[in-house]
Amino acid sequence: MQFLKTKLPGVFEIIPRIFEDDRGYFYESYNIELFKANGIPEEFLQDNQSFSKKGVIRGLHFQRAPFAQGKLVRVIKGAVLDVVVDIRPESPTFGQYESFLLTEENKKMVYLPEGFAHGFSTLEDAIFSYKCTNVYHKASEGGIIYNDPDLNIDWQVSNPVVSDKDLELPSWKEFKG
Ligand SMILES: Cc1cn([C@H]2C[C@H](O)[C@@H](COP(=O)(O)OP(=O)(O)O[C@H]3O[C@H](C)C(=O)[C@H](O)[C@H]3O)O2)c(=O)[nH]c1=O
């Protein structure tokens, strides 16, 4: 399992070790010893899975402290563009984002610690699976509108299907206050 640092401190792109044979493949999608050895000590309290048709955008979402969530995300089927935005005011990369192509074929994963807004667009119908370092707490949910002009994220999808809730999320300027 390779842990690749990114331009956003604390965010890793993770390449699992794939074992292939005549039956198919096997890989470890999480191993606490490998994660701790690579600077990710957090443990996970909740697993989620969602299916999204092609052309959907979910996000940008986060939970406020003390229910902030670190996430380990991956794609079981299909392909997504996964986006993480640094919302830590003290961070040198505050307001910067990075995107990752996660697919059934490349089996890549991303770990984002607490302090990031997260979302993804679906380049194909996709089953998205992720581990969270904290449990769901609706009252602590926050977000930023996906098409904010200041963040200027290229989601690589046009006319996306977005939930009514996500269409009402605040702008980056409103989020910063
Ligand atoms: C997140 C969550 C939702 N729910 C319920 C609440 C709603 O009735 C329903 C759908 O929730 P929502 O529309 O917020 O689902 P997503 O838009 O996929 O939200 C996720 O989208 C982006 C990609 C994220 O990173 C977050 O993990 C999460 O916010 O599931 C739960 O019961 N537990 C949960 O942990």
Q: What is the pLDDT of residues 112-158, one digit of tens each?
A: 999 999 999 999 999 999 999 999 999 999 999 999 999 999 999 99
Pocket lining: 74 vs ligand 1, CB cutoff 6 Å = no
Distance (Å) from CA 37 to ligand 1 centroid: 30
**Per-domain boundaries in the chain:** 42-176
Distance CA 23, CA 159 (A): 40
Residue 8 — pLDDT band, cuts 50, 70, 90?
A: very high
**pTM of the entire structure?**
0.97
Asked if 62 contacts 116 with a C-beta cutoff of 8 angstroms, the reply is yes
State which of 49, 53, 58 you would mutate to test the pocket of ligand 1, scoring each by most atoms of that ligand within 8 A of its C-beta.
Answer: 58
Domain 42-176 falls under CATH 2.60.120.10: yes
Residue 177 — pLDDT band, cuts 50, 70, 90?
A: confident
Residue 87 has pLDDT above 90, yes or no: yes
Residue 59 has pLDDT above 90, yes or no: yes
Written as one letter, the residue type at 21 is D
Pocket lining: 51 vs ligand 1, CB cutoff 6 Å = no
Asked if 137 contacts 46 with a C-beta cutoff of 8 angstroms, the reply is no
* Buried/exposed 45-57: b ≥16 CB within 10 Å, e otherwise: eeeeeeebeebbb
Residue with tokens 């996000």: 59
Specify burial of residue 66 (Cβ count, 10 A radius: 0-12, 13-18, 19+): exposed
Largest CA distance in the chain: 56
Dihedral of CA 134/132/118/30: which sign? positive
Residue 53 — pLDDT band, cuts 50, 70, 90?
A: very high
Backbone angles phi, psi at 148, to 5 degrees: -60, 130
Distance (Å) from CA 65 to ligand 1 centroid: 17
Distance CA 34, CA 83 (A): 24
Average pLDDT value for residue range 11-29: 98
Distance (Å) from CA 21 to ligand 1 centroid: 36
**Average pLDDT, whole number, for the chain?**
97
Average pLDDT value for residue range 81-85: 98
Residue 44 has pLDDT above 90, yes or no: yes
Question: Within the chain, where are the H helices?
Answer: 32-37, 164-167, 172-176
DSSP H or E stretch at residue 153 = none
Residue 102 has pLDDT above 90, yes or no: yes
